[in-house]
A and B are shown apart, each in its own frame.
Chain A
Amino acid sequence: MKAAVLEHIAGAAGWLTGPIFSKELRVSSRRRRNYVLRFIYLGLLTVFVVLVWLSQVKSSAESSAFRISRMSEAGRVVIMAVTWFQFCALQLVAVVMLSASISGEVYDRTLGILLTTPIRMFQVVMGKLLSKLLQLMILLAISMPLLAVVRVFGGVPWDFVLASLCITLFACLVAGAVSMFFSILFRRAFVTIIVTLGAGFVLYAVLPWMLMLVFMALAFSGGGPPGSAYRDAVMGMMHGNPFAMLFLATGELMQPGSLGRMGFFSWPLHCGIMLAFTVLMLFLCVLLVRRVALRQAAGDTGVVRVVPQLPPAPVARAPGQAAPGVAGAPPLPVPVLVPTPVAEAQAGRIRRLTGSPLLWKELRTPLTRSTVKKVVGIVIPLSILSVMYLLVGALGQLDEESTHIGFVVVYLIGGALITAVVAASPITAEKESRCWPLLLSTPLSEGHIVWAKAAGVLRKCWFGWAPLMAHLLVFAVVGYIHPIALLHLLILVVWVVAFLTGAGLYFGARFRRTTTAVVMNLGLGIALWVVLPVLLLIVVATFEGGHEDIAGVYAGVTNPVVQGIVLLAETAGADNAGRPLAELSYNWPWDGPGLTAGDTTALMLLFASVHSFIGFLFALRAMARLRRNIF
């Protein structure tokens, strides 16, 4: 009986995923990077847990009885930290893992081949998604012993562990499905990663924030305090947002009873909503994958692009005839050519090369050739931004300091993200298109190649910083931001771009795949600007010794977001914008009096010099590595 049931389950699973599932698992088991990823993940998690634990039970002055009584609280804090760590890290891993799931098949030209087999397209989609999900579950599972050990100390109910695991798992499912959807639309994995992260930001942050503003506007429009309808609407909205759900769940863990005041809360309902969204995305994926597979089977090489073939040119040259243009060739009779109309029509659109060839190519290569993608890529962000500004304006918050800090932080993160991705891709893109050996077989020097690539990065990443500069410029003119902030933020942008460009080029020279280089460059940024400061904070909280401001100094010196906040905190808002320059006093996150605008400018220039120098060193390393592992 039991065997029959198991057989039925295996049969159903086989029908759902076909042979794709086992193929994906087999391939992934042979990739070293998966083991490295698990090792790093578990290592980070362990360090994180140990530090959080030590910070909670560090006090040696109290009695043993008191320390034992604190164990349960410490257990809760550790579980919360681990839960959030897993929640954020695993979603990111899911996005990266599935970013090349379909485009990889297109790139390797295997999707059309799959179409010639009895495998159904939904089996391709499900097989890919579930195989990656299984690997994510392995990552989740390897942290279970840690959670179990911490739970021994008490204070953490099982239902929280279950709820947090389910919320994390379903958030990963959605992240993976969205990443897979975009991997059908975009040929390059890094484009998929960046678009998926952008979509996640819009879905989980921008849209809820805008809805909150609408709800608030509606709730306060009656004149009285917001009623239960407002509360229910907010809670309903939160059920579609895993960040909000986990926030509520961990809030309940730390302060039992807090959920009771919030209203209706059901994590199974949230998981159901996430599952429904995933099913919708998968349905779209199946439809699109079929289209792409059919195109590929018909001979198209792109993901969603069809390039018209020119008709064959008439052969007019006699065999043995040499070209008069080739140096060294003997003079030959002029061949009789019959030009084709299409070729003639297109000939006018050829762009002639000027200056450095590589620089010319880098400066004219578009991020995408698709007009639809260009329009969508401009219209959607602009529409969202316009609505955000309109809502903030309608609520009368445009002259507030916190509003501008919020916008600038988002723009800084967006700009850094785009720069990190764009900088890591130009060299690996050459490798993936197999043009790298051709380029290196020319007399172009390593220095020329790297600097031309760097110029191309600057040309491509400017649009990532345009919203920030436009925001600063517009509100400086309006009088809500002090003009000195423009200069300071410009210096900040320069060093972030220089640093990430150098590092990105190095990773591009170091690795063969664009996705690996992009992940490494993003990872460097996350490690330097998120992980290290957090760990430093925990270490400082754990080991007392009069160095409490080390974490602040580190964050102030290295973290562009922290610097942005410091710079805006003194210059943003109607009150600050009108102050004389001499009155400005910047509070950097370390002990001591506030710095003047002049000192802050000097400090920012120092930061810019150091980071640009590090970026330069990275670029030099890239040059040194350029001719290694060419093939």
Chain B
Amino acid sequence: MIETKGLTKYYGSLAAVVDLNLRIAEGDIFGFIGPNGAGKTTTMRILATLLEPSSGTASIDGKDVARLGKQVRRVVGYMPDFMGVYDDLKVFEYLEFFAAAFGVARGRRKATIDGVLELTDLEGKKAAQVDSLSRGMQQRLQLARVLIHDPKVLILDEPASGLDPRARIEIRELLRELRRMGKTIMISSHILSELEEMCDHVGIIEHGRLVFSGTLEEIRQRVGLHTKVRVRISGDLDKAVEMLSVLPEVQVVRKLEDRLSVTLREGGSDGGLIAKTLVQADIGLLELVPEQLKLDDAFLQLTKGIVH
């Protein structure tokens, strides 16, 4: 659905995006992450037809964004990383304005607007002035706006930034709902734990270059070669460390305050041998939990903190 080939964008002599190759399948939620100034927003703006690439190509739904901008805009809902509200319009009028701008038929507008208002929990604000809404409400209104023409693709730049935890959870629920509706979503966020729960694929960009693109599992494969297991026992911790360290599938055992952190070798089991060893040694096993590699950890390992 979204594809870039050798996409490059320069601002004067500054390379914002360099040779970016992306491929996002239809119906996917693609998390686009990277440090500030990495090139995420520039990429999204190119895909939204608001910037022209210096070289390379980008296409959405098979249409080149640089040459067929108008057709691309019809299938894309773009939400920038800032609020854009007209002072003098009410919520319903604002949405109707964009509905008309996207060519939604007059007869369908009211139902469509009511639908997106309901989806974003803004029904009660229909007659409120747009600029009187709180930040969270305005963020929801932006989401309602991008949905107004039922686009196939949503490009959401930091949709949850600056929102309180409740609003963030609501936005996350909303995005899940949109995925169920079959939308292809490209989303950037600094809150990686949220992306982790939503995204099928993740792209990590730094210094304008894509350093990784793939599924979360592929990230773990790439950076999390070792799986960690958290072990809590009722017996002697030192004895347990001694016993586990000699097991062939265990690489390192670290004694923490009240538990052990066991790092398994590549291709190691899920910790069954650890449990068996401890039980056979008559050590009370209270807890054995595999520790999954977090997206935050992967991000830190894959990026160097380089910014423009």
Q: Which of B73, B90, B124, B150 contacts A350 (CB 8 A)?
A: B90
A314 within 8 A of B: yes
Q: Which residue of A lies closest to B91 (CB)?
A: A350
Which residues of chain A are near B117, meaning CB under 8 Å?
Answer: 323
**Closest-CB distance, B125 to chain A (whole angstroms):** 6
Chain A residues with CB under 8 A of B84: 433-438
- A317 near B: Cβ within 8 Å? yes
Stretch at the interface among A177-185, A285-293, A327-335, A460-468: A327-335
Instruction: Let me know if B123 and A313 touch, CB within 8 A.
Output: yes
Contacts of A309 in B (CB 8 A): 128, 132, 134
Question: Is residue A369 within 8 Å, beta carbon to beta carbon, of the partner chain?
Answer: yes
A106 to B185, CA, bound (A): 36
Residue pair B116, A443 in contact (C-beta under 8 Å): no
Q: Is the CB of B121 within 8 A of A440?
A: no
A43-51, A264-272, A337-345, A551-559 - the one binding chain B: A337-345
A442 and B82 contact, CB distance less than 8 A:
no
Known contacts A325-B116, A335-B118, A337-B123; is A310 also within 8 Å of B93 by CB? no
In contact, A361 and B97 (Cβ under 8 angstroms):
yes
A369 contacts across to B, CB distance below 8 A: 87-88
Interface residue ranges of A435-469 to B (CB < 8 Å): 435-445
Q: State A315–B132 Cα separation when bound (angstroms).
A: 19
| Chain A neighbourhood of B50, CB < 8 A | 437, 440-441, 627, 630-631
Q: A396 near B: Cβ within 8 Å?
A: no
Asked if A325 and B128 make an inter-chain contact with CB atoms under 8 angstroms apart, the answer reads: no
CA distance A310 to B128 in the complex (A): 7
The reply to whether A310 and B86 form a contact with Cβ atoms under 8 Å apart is no
Do A312 and B124 have beta carbons less than 8 Å apart?
A: yes
Q: Does A353 contact B (CB under 8 A)?
A: yes
Give CA–CA (A326, B96) in the complex, Å. 14
Q: How far is the CB of A628 from chain B (nearest CB, A)?
A: 9
* Residue A346 CB within 8 A of the other chain: yes
| Count of chain A residues with a beta carbon within 8 Å of a chain B beta carbon | 61
Whether B177 lies near A322 (C-beta < 8 A) is yes
Residues of B close to A364: CB separation below 8 A: 88
Which of B107-115, B256-264, B266-274, B299-307 sits within the interface? B107-115
Q: How far is the CB of B292 from chain A (nearest CB, A)?
A: 25
Complex CA gap A364/B111 in Å reads 23
B226: Cβ under 8 A from any A Cβ: no
CA gap between A172 and B70 in the complex, in Å: 50
Report yes or no: B127 in contact with A350, Cβ–Cβ below 8 A. yes
Least distance between A309 CB and chain B CB atoms (Å): 6
Contact assessment for B128 and A346 in the assembled complex, using a CB-CB cutoff below 8 Å: yes
Q: Which residues in B have their C-beta under 8 angstroms from that of A307?
A: 129, 131-132
Counting chain A CB atoms within 10 Å of each CB, the highest count among B76, B117, B127 belongs to B127
A282 proximal to B (CB < 8 A) = no
Stretch at the interface among B98-106, B200-208, B230-238: B98-106
Are the CB atoms of A346 and B127 closer together than 8 Å? yes
Which residues on the B side are within 8 Å of A406 (C-beta)?
none
Per-position contact with B for A531-553: 1 when CB-CB < 8 Å, else 0? 00000000000000000000000
B127's contact among A323, A347, A365, A366, by CB below 8 Å, is which? A347
Complex interface: chain A residues within 8 A of B150 (CB) = 326-328
| Measured CA separation A522–B197 after assembly (Å) | 55
Evaluate contact between B101 and A443: CB separation under 8 angstroms.
Answer: yes
A260: interface (CB < 8 Å) = no
Question: Is there an interface contact between A326 and B115, defined as CB atoms closer than 8 Å?
Answer: yes
- Count chain B CB atoms within 10 A of each CB in A349, A369, A442 and give the residue with the most: A442
Task: Write out, one digit per residue, whether chain A residues 291-331 have a CB within 8 A of any chain B CB (1) or not (0).
Answer: 00000000001000001111011110101111111111110
Q: Of all chain B residues, which has the CB nearest A312?
A: B124
Q: Contact: B173 with A319, CB < 8 Å?
A: yes
The listed residue (B45, B48, B85, B116) touching A323 by CB distance below 8 A is B116
Q: B87 contacts A433, CB within 8 Å?
A: yes
Report Cα–Cα, A353/B113, bound state, in Å.
Answer: 13
Which residues from B are CB-within-8-Å of A437?
45, 48, 50, 78, 80, 84
With A325-B111, A443-B73 known to touch, is A353 a contact of B100 (CB < 8 Å)?
yes
Contact B102 A442 (CB under 8 A): yes
Contact A360 B97 (CB under 8 A): yes
Q: In the docked arrangement, what's the CA distance between A247 and B96, Å?
A: 58
| Inter-chain contacts of B111 with A (CB < 8 A) | 324-325
With a cutoff of 8 Å between Cβ atoms, the chain A residues found around residue B83 in the complex are 434
Interface string of B48-62 (1 = CB under 8 A from A): 111100000000000
Is A443 a contact partner of B115 (Cβ separation < 8 A)? no
Residues B147 and A310 in contact, CB atoms below 8 Å apart: no
Contact A441 B181 (CB under 8 A): no
Q: Chain B residues near A360: list those with CB within 8 A.
A: 97, 100
- Partner-B contacts on A (CB < 8 A): 301, 307-310, 312-315, 317, 319-330, 335, 337, 339-340, 343, 345-353, 356-358, 360-361, 364-366, 369, 433-445, 627, 630-631
Which B residues lie at the A interface, using CB under 8 A?
45, 48-51, 70, 73-74, 76, 78, 80, 82-90, 92-93, 96-98, 100-103, 109, 111-119, 121-129, 131-132, 134, 145, 147, 150, 173, 176-177, 180-182
Of the A-B pairs whose beta carbons lie under 8 Å apart in the complex, a sample of 13, sorted by A's number, is: A310-B124, A310-B127, A313-B125, A317-B118, A324-B111, A324-B115, A326-B112, A326-B119, A361-B97, A433-B86, A433-B87, A438-B98, A630-B51
A310-B128, A317-B121, A337-B124 known; 5 new pairs, CB 8 Å cut-off, are A320-B176, A328-B150, A329-B181, A339-B123, A343-B125
